[in-house]
């Protein structure tokens, strides 16, 4: 190809989707000298601001799709996302066709797979950016088989679900939230997505690195194991996360952190859309206070419905969510910690040397941000694939602890929270977890460095993109 490659990336709404897509775009520009155009349909001003703050990417804002007649008040977030992305296809198609130069490839994230035919119309290759880990990807690859094998709802299924060559999924603990009830539309939406991945894409970009999950990757590439269901290549190019931005490490929070001893502060955050029951917020507050450990806690208003209730909400209500904390909590803990309403500079906080633990909903970006900073975790999965991540962190990588009762089932009480916080912050167990985390931190840095596995995978992906483009150019007369 004489000119440079140009990726059109279609991004689903939601900050949790936008952040890794922007970072992927930046990496394609800086490491591979691609041109990148990202198509967004932001669900909030914050998303728009984050997207347009990057000078090296072309950002095209698509008008928000009108889904009012297609979803109801009880429609789940995943189904809403599927419907939004479906409704967006027409404007996306027109926007791509209106570009001065046709892109040389299309990349979509998990909710954008219904736009793969647009790449076919343009005669360009198409890739899925799966902004998560290989084990979760293996679940999606086996989804159609599970759909046939499991009778009734997954949640009632007693036997572990077998994935050739990989760790099995225990329905009660590990199965992707969205797939638990066959009676729910989101189940069928995901089976649909899963069916398009192996058939319609030319390759998969995974947000992890070769050395993190070697067994699962080997199974995905082995045609006697998972490779039976997947004929396209997988490229582990991660960790792709927002880098530490020193200009964000200023102000009250960082002045306070600078004064704390090394690795003495636990950070608590539940991502861009996670919400807790009010009762659970109260127990966490008491657990923290009893633990007497230093903390920074990002607080959002509690939910009365689902744990992902805050996802896709555009409005942070003006009232401070601090009012939901136990009376006197902020005052009593003023020498111990900080509470931050709504949103905090998470990457910069996790990178600060005073931070030594992370209580997290373990969304995959948050997980990677913890891994790359060597910070051990208390996992608190709430929705989406977070329970998959929680199992990886506690049982596969052994860098985290979790409550005895899954937090999505019951309220975890203050005593257990106090114990877990103490465990990772001051016990020998915490020390061991931290040492393992530091090894993963080194492994991630190596993968991203010159000659590292993720760098190599990225170059292989670029070569694949180029040869696919040429092959399609010979088939289609552009
Ligand atoms: N995040 C942040 N500040 C916050 C909460 C979240 O910067 O107060 C960022 C976090 O660093 C991560 C992203 O939002 O990059 C959340 O993505 P993740 O995959 O962890 O969870 P999701 O929001 O998709 O559930």
pLDDT, tens only, 75-128 = 989 999 999 999 999 999 999 999 999 999 999 999 999 999 999 999 999 999
Q: Atom of ligand 1 at shortest distance to CA of 131? A: 19
Say if ligand 1 is within 6 A of residue 321 CB: no
- Tokens for 372? 């790359």
What is the gyration radius of the CA atoms in the chain, in angstroms?
Answer: 22
Cβ-Cβ contacts under 8 Å for 7 (sequence gap 6 or more): 25, 28, 34, 35, 36, 37, 103, 104, 105, 106, 107, 465
- Determine the distance separating the centroid of ligand 1 and the alpha carbon of 272, expressed in angstroms: 5
CB-ligand 1 contact for 453 (6 Å cutoff): no
Helices 214-221 & 134-149 angle (0-180, nearest 10): 50
Nearest in space to 202 (alpha carbons), one of 451, 460, 385, 477:
460
pLDDT digits (tens, 9 = 90+) for 16-38: 999 999 999 999 999 999 999 99
Q: What's the pLDDT score for residue 374?
A: 97
Cα of 175 vs centre of ligand 1, distance in Å, is: 22
359-369 pLDDT, tens per residue? 999 999 999 99
In which band, very low, low, confident or very high, does the pLDDT at 178 lie, cut at 50, 70 and 90?
confident
Q: pLDDT grade, residue 411 (50/70/90)?
A: very high
CB of 366 within 6 A of ligand 1: the answer is yes
**Residue 364 CA, ligand 1 centroid: distance in Å:** 9
In angstroms, the CA 146 to CA 139 distance is 9
**Which protein residue has the closest C-alpha to ligand 1 atom 18?**
363
Catalytic residues: 17, 109
Ligand 1 in contact with 20 (CB < 6 A)? no
Q: Which domains does the chain have, with CATH numbers?
A: 6-240+450-476 (3.40.50.2000), 246-443 (3.40.50.2000)
Phi, psi values for residue 100, rounded to 5°: -60, -45
pLDDT band at 312 (very low <50, low <70, confident <90, very high): low
Under the banding of pLDDT at 50, 70 and 90, the label for residue 476 is low
CB atoms inside a 10 Å sphere around CB 331 = 7
State whether the beta carbon of 201 lies less than 6 angstroms from ligand 1: no
Supply the residue whose CA is at minimum distance from atom 15 of ligand 1. 365
Please calculate the CA angle 243-245-250 and round it to the nearest 5 degrees: 150
Count Cβ neighbours within 10 Å for each residue of 449-478 and write b for 16 or more, e otherwise. eeebbbbebbeebbebbbebbeebeeeeee
For 143, half-sphere exposure in the C-beta direction (CA atoms, 13 angstrom radius) is 25
- Averaged pLDDT, 268-293: 95
Highest mean pLDDT among 252-256, 304-308, 310-314: 252-256
Whether 272 lines ligand 1, by a CB cut-off of 6 Å, is: yes
Instruction: Give CA separation, 100 vs 25, 37, 40, 97, in Å.
Output: 19, 12, 18, 8
Q: For residue 14, which phi and psi values (nearest 5 degrees)?
A: 115, 135
Ligand 1 centroid to residue 360 C-alpha, Å: 10
Q: Can you say whether the dihedral through the CA atoms of 119, 125, 130, 135 is positive or negative?
A: positive
Strands 35-40 and 6-10: parallel
Our mutation pick for probing the ligand 1 site, out of 366, 373, 385, 393, counting the most ligand atoms within 8 A of Cβ, is: 366
**Cβ count near 241 (within 10 Å):** 24
Q: ipTM beyond 0.95? A: yes
Q: Output the CA torsion 131→211→346→25 (10° steps).
A: -40
Residue of 80, 199, 53 lying closest to 140 (CA atoms): 199
Cβ atoms of 175 and 387 closer than 8 Å? yes
Rounded Cα distance, 293 and 420, in Å: 11
Query: Confidence class of residue 187 from pLDDT cuts 50, 70 and 90?
Result: very high
User: Does residue 408 carry a pLDDT above 80?
Assistant: no
Distance 469 CA to ligand 1 centre (A): 34
CB distance 298 to ligand 1 below 6 Å = yes
CA-20 nearest atom, ligand 1: 15
The pLDDT of residue 417 is above 60: yes
State if residue 369 touches ligand 1 by the CB under 6 angstroms criterion.
Answer: yes
How many CB atoms neighbour CB 93 within 10 A?
15
Q: Which has the minimum average pLDDT: 168-177, 200-209, 341-350?
A: 168-177
Q: Tell how far the Cα of 340 is from the centroid of ligand 1, in angstroms.
A: 14
Band the pLDDT of 453: cuts 50, 70, 90: very high
Q: Please give the structure tokens belonging to residue 336.
A: 């111990």
- The mean-pLDDT minimum among 76-80, 134-138, 279-283, 394-398 falls in 76-80
Q: What is the mean pLDDT of the chain?
A: 93
Q: Please report the atom of ligand 1 found closest to the CA of residue 364.
A: 19
Instruction: Categorize the per-residue pLDDT at 314 as very low, low, confident or very high, splitting at 50, 70 and 90.
Output: low
Which residue of 50, 248, 276, 365 sits with most ligand 1 atoms within 8 Å of its CB, as the best mutation to test the pocket? 365
Q: HSE on the CB side for 171, CA within 13 Å?
A: 17
- Model confidence at 316, pLDDT cuts 50, 70, 90, reads low
The answer to whether 397 touches 436, Cβ cutoff 8 Å, is yes
- Give pLDDT tens digits for 32-68: 999 999 999 988 899 999 999 888 999 999 998 999 9
Nearest alpha carbon, ligand 1 atom 13? 16
For ligand 1, pick from 244, 338, 363, 367 the residue to mutate: most ligand atoms within 8 Å of CB: 363
Stated pTM of the model:
0.95
Q: Is 390 helix (H, G, I), strand (E, B) or coil?
A: helix
Percentage of the residues of the chain whose pLDDT score is greater than 90: 81
Q: How far is CA 106 from the centre of its chain?
A: 20
């Amino acid at each position: 190809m004489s000119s440079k490659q140009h990726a059109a990336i279609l991004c689903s709404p939601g900050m949790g989707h936008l952040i890794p897509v922007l970072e992927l775009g930046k990496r394609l520009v800086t490491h591979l000298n691609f041109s990148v155009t990202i198509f967004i349909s932001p669900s909030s001003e914050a998303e728009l601001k984050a997207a347009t703050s990057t000078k090296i990417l072309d950002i095209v804002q698509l008008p928000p799709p009108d889904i009012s007649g297609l979803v109801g008040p009880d429609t789940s977030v995943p189904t809403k996302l599927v419907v939004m992305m479906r409704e967006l296809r027409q404007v996306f198609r027109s926007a791509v066709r209106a570009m001065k130069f046709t892109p040389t490839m299309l990349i979509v994230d998990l909710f954008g797979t219904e736009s793969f035919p647009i790449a076919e119309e343009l005669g360009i290759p198409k890739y899925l950016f799966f902004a998560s880990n290989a084990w979760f990807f293996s679940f999606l690859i086996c989804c159609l088989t599970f759909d046939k094998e499991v009778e009734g709802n997954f949640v009632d299924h007693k036997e572990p679900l077998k994935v050739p060559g990989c760790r099995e999924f225990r329905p009660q603990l590990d199965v992707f939230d969205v797939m638990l009830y066959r009676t729910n539309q989101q189940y069928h939406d995901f089976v649909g997505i899963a069916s398009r991945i192996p058939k319609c894409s030319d390759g998969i970009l995974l947000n992890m690195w070769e050395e993190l999950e070697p067994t699962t990757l080997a199974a995905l590439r082995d045609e006697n194991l998972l490779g039976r269901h997947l004929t396209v290549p997988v490229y582990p190019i991660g960790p792709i996360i927002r880098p530490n931005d020193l200009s964000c490490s200023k102000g009250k929070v960082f002045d306070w952190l600078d004064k704390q001893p090394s690795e003495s502060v636990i950070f608590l955050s539940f991502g861009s859309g996670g919400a807790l029951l009010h009762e659970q917020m109260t127990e966490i507050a008491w657990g923290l206070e009893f633990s007497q450990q230093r903390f920074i806690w990002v607080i959002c208003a509690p939910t009365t419905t689902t744990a992902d209730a805050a996802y896709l909400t555009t409005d942070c209500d003006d009232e401070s969510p601090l009012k939901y904390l136990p009376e006197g909590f902020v005052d009593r803990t003023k020498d111990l910690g900080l509470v931050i309403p709504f949103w905090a500079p998470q990457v910069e906080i996790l990178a600060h040397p005073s931070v030594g633990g992370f209580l997290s909903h373990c969304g995959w970006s948050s997980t990677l941000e913890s891994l790359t900073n060597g910070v051990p975790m208390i996992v608190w999965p709430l929705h989406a694939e977070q329970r998959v991540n929680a199992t990886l962190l506690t049982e596969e990588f052994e860098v985290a602890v979790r409550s005895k009762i899954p937090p999505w089932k019951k309220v975890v009480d203050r005593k257990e929270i106090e114990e877990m916080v103490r465990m990772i912050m001051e016990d020998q167990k915490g020390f061991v977890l931290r040492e393992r985390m530091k090894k993963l931190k080194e492994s991630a840095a190596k993968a991203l460095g010159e000659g590292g596995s993720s760098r190599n995978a990225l170059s292989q992906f670029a070569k694949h993109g180029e040869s696919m483009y040429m092959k399609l150019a010979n088939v289609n007369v552009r």
